[in-house]
Amino acid sequence: MKSLMILGGMIGLVIGLAFGLAHRSPWPDALWRAAAAALAAGVMMRWWGRVWIKSLRAAHEQQHAELAAQRKETPKPSAK
């Protein structure tokens, strides 16, 4: 989870700096906007990461439940 938040912060910083410099803002303004973008992107990546992990766990549990149901339905071959 931490790595996703750090990745989001880095992406937000780069995007914020790029937009600030493209807008021809002075360095302090561009840096301030980049810091705000880094915070927003980090928080969003943290949220998205939690949603993603929760969905992966739910899919894994569903797959496990389906396999268990299939095992109960299929009769075991008797050894004769």
pLDDT score at 72: 86
Percent of the chain with pLDDT over 90: 79
Angle ∠(11,7,39) on CA atoms, nearest 5: 65
Residue pLDDT, tens place only, 20-31: 999 999 999 999
pTM for the full predicted model: 0.72
In tens, the pLDDT along 40-56 reads: 999 999 999 999 999 99
Residue 33: alpha-carbon gap to chain centroid: 23
- Predicted confidence band at 62 (pLDDT cuts at 50, 70, 90)? very high
Joined tokens for residue 68: 């268990």
Q: Tell me, what's the pLDDT at 24?
A: 93
